[in-house]
Amino acid sequence: ASILVTGANGFVGAWIVKRALEKGYRVRAAVRTVQKGRHLLESNKVHGDKLEIVAVGDIAKGPLDEAVKGVDAIIHTASPVTLQCDDPKELIEPAVNGAVGILSSALKNGPSVKRIVVTSSFATLLAYSTEPVTVHEGLWNEASVKDVEVNGSKAAPISKYAASKTLAEKAVWKFVEDHKSEINWDVTVINPPWIFGPVVHEVTTLDTLNASNQHFHRGLVKGDFQGTDPLKYPNRGWCDVRDVADAHIRSLEVPAAGGERLLVSNASFVYQDLLDLANSLDPKPYHTLAMGTPGTPIRFVTIDASKADRILALKYKTAEELVRDTFADYTARGW
């Protein structure tokens, strides 16, 4: 079977490409420019012509009519991930137009497409909370959308990102509903929380590392929590990028995943949990490692990932595997 993967040169996209090729899929990797596909071709060259690169430009601007032709399934990961943005439209337009664009191209030019898996986010379920809450797929983060509607560029940086993901996911479900009599495919949405892990995409310097790994590096290696308490922050779930990649691929294979939102996560965490774990590793990954503030964490968030457990039956990596393998990758790169 063949799959189109958008955002294929990103942190998550590159892992999906790698795992899908290893599982025997033919992969068409969509990136902005041919140049951005070179590292993917090089790092997956054992798979020969099973990997093809397609340059699609800016997904905010146009649909992917050519890219979808002939594939059996699509995994749409492309969407901007940053907390550095002034006008929220810079995130919302590519998120929403990209998601709707891929669905409309599949409707128009993808008669062979059977399933489309869209990478959404935990951020579509919950805004930051200081109240105890159990997070599951029945929730929608209306608060971040409201923050952006009311405050525009003055909204909290996390609200701009969360609103882009929430509006994009809502647009996906609306498209499916509006076109249900015309489409031959169904949609699965994956809602992962913070994704960390070793890197297989092209990263030349630490400053160009993707946003979630920058947080991980800044906190766990440098001990810089940007003024927040590592015993309370971030109070979200985490998931290893390798498990997130497998969740996307399993979603193509399991009929029951069709039409579902799936929260994939090992557990909730505060940074101190991972710091304590890192400090307990033998040998230690770094000569000097941040200690944080050892103590009793204050947890607000409980994750209910039982739906994804039931449907996808993933075997998640442990926090120890995450920390050990990520640090091994960072130290090998001199970070």
Instruction: Give the residues lining the site for ligand NDP (CB under 6 A).
Output: 7, 9-13, 32, 36, 58-60, 77-81, 94, 119, 121, 165, 192, 194-195, 210, 212
Please enumerate in sequence order all residues whose Cβ is within 8 A of that of 23, keeping only pairs 6 or more positions apart, or say none.
249
Backbone angles phi, psi at 33, to 5 degrees: -135, 160
DSSP state of 305: -
Nearer to ligand NDP (CB atom), residue 35 or residue 331 = 35
Nearer to ligand NDP (CB atom), residue 11 or residue 330 = 11
The nearest distance, CB 207 to ligand NDP, in angstroms, is: 13
Nearer to ligand NDP (CB atom), residue 13 or residue 230 = 13
DSSP state of 122: G
Q: Give CA–CA dist 75/3, Å, rounded.
A: 7
The nearest distance, CB 107 to ligand NDP, in angstroms, is: 20
The nearest distance, CB 79 to ligand NDP, in angstroms, is: 3
The nearest distance, CB 285 to ligand NDP, in angstroms, is: 21
Nearer to ligand NDP (CB atom), residue 157 or residue 279 = 157
The nearest distance, CB 33 to ligand NDP, in angstroms, is: 8
Pairing outcome for strands 186-190 and 261-262:
parallel
The nearest distance, CB 295 to ligand NDP, in angstroms, is: 26
DSSP state of 14: H
The nearest distance, CB 8 to ligand NDP, in angstroms, is: 6
Q: Are 21 and 51 in contact (CB under 8 A)?
A: yes
Q: Are 2 and 25 in contact (CB under 8 A)?
A: yes
- Most distant CA pair in the chain, distance: 61
The nearest distance, CB 138 to ligand NDP, in angstroms, is: 18
Position 334: which residue type?
G
Closest residue by Cα to residue 176 from 118, 217, 250, 251 = 118
Nearer to ligand NDP (CB atom), residue 119 or residue 272 = 119
Looking at the chain, which runs of residues are DSSP E strands?
A: 2-6, 26-31, 51-55, 73-76, 115-119, 133-135, 186-190, 194-196, 234-240, 261-262, 267-270, 301-303
Residue nearest to ligand NDP as judged by C-beta position: 10
Nearer to ligand NDP (CB atom), residue 64 or residue 283 = 64
Please enumerate in sequence order all residues whose Cβ is within 8 A of that of 241, keeping only pairs 6 or more positions apart, or say none.
11, 12, 15, 195, 196, 197, 198
Which sign does the torsion angle of CA 274, 280, 285, 287 carry? Answer: positive
**Which stretch of DSSP H or E encloses residue 146?**
helix 142-151
The CA–CA distances, whole Å, from 259 to 112, 118, 124, 165, 171 equal 18, 11, 16, 18, 14
Nearer to ligand NDP (CB atom), residue 52 or residue 112 = 52
Nearer to ligand NDP (CB atom), residue 55 or residue 291 = 55
